[in-house]
Amino acid sequence: MSRSETPAYAGVNSASTIMSKLSYCYRVNERVVLVTGAFVLCTIIVALGGIASDPSSSGTWTGLRLGSGGLNDFFGGAIQHGYFSVEKSKIDENVFRFASVTDLDQLSRVGDEMLFRSILVPGTLTYDPHTNHYSIDFEPPRTLFSKHNEGGRGMELSELKIYQNRLLAFEDRTGMVFEILSKDGGNDSYVVPRFVVTEGPGETDKGMKWEWAAVKGKTLYMGSMGKEYTNPDGTVANSNNLWVATLNDKGELRREDWTDKYNVVRKALGAEFPGYLIHEAIDWSESLKRWVFIPRRVSSEMYDENLD
């Protein structure tokens, strides 16, 4: 061992001896010390980052996206707050704001482009207590565009629902849930996708065929037509449309098999399989504390595409 590699020349006190030994160890194992130190530092940074970005640690997200609000600020990846409200849509006790949206099926496509449209029509519903009549005043229509599609079909919007102060639209080809946002000072609107949900228990790449949505408490329920998908001969291909998806106020997605619930309504209307119901209007009644079903079609006979 050469003189420069030895821990010799100890000082007159123990502190000097320790420092000499540490200096010697560092010179001999410099590479190991640097790698170990870098690993420890990286571990500390990752751990601190996990704590800072964990929504459960403080109720706010302080990771990559900073915000001053709670979890709802980032519902579906959105940064801005929602600005629609069921309560604010009530102008007074007899006047209400509303909106309707179109499902144009194959006419949704714009020419030969991979561009698709739906028409949003806001309006005002007025009740006259003296005549017991309602009147509707429509505002100029707004065209919503999107390039998102499945098999050349898109923007076939089948439902509107306000949830978490966000106006959501549900597309029955792609399984997309869009948020409708305002532009030009509120004089026009556009859509952005928030969620894409596949049908059934989620083991397929086919988009959910949305037909209805309902808010129960803090949960958004989203469902399809409530009927099995059948082959031309009437046999069942799958029961994916008997499932519903739920979103909570944190944007967490769950799925529920609603076969039993749909069958209760089927039985009550004498449409048990091979008969069927087709649903497009299901909602939760807060006043009744019950689910309300208004079927679009009721048949006690086996499904036939032409007869239907």
Token code pair at residue 232: 């031309």
Answer yes or no: is 280 a known binding residue: yes
Q: Residue 210 class from Cβ within 10 Å (0-12 exposed, 13-18 middle, 19+ buried)?
A: buried
Q: Nearest-CA neighbor of 209 among 166, 238, 167, 233? A: 238
Answer yes or no: is 211 a known binding residue: yes
Q: Nearest-CA neighbor of 71 among 254, 275, 236, 63? A: 63
d(CA 52, CA 43): 14
In degrees and rounded to multiples of 5, residue 307 shows phi and psi of: -65, -35
Token code pair at residue 112: 């030969």
Q: Which amino acid is at 159?
A: E
3-state helix, strand, coil in the chain (%, to 5): 25, 35, 40
Helices marked H in the chain? 14-28, 30-53, 55-58, 259-268
CB 144 within 8 A of CB 117: yes
Bridge partners of 143, per DSSP, are 119
Answer yes or no: is 158 a known binding residue: yes
CA dist list (Å): 28 to 20, 25, 280: 12, 5, 76
* Residue in the block written with tokens 């994916």: 240
Answer yes or no: is 159 a known binding residue: yes
Q: Nearest-CA neighbor of 137 among 95, 92, 107, 184? A: 95
Three-class SS of residue 246?
Answer: strand
CB 166 within 8 A of CB 213: no
Annotated binding residues:
158-159, 211, 280
Annotated binding residues for Ca(2+):
158-159, 211, 280
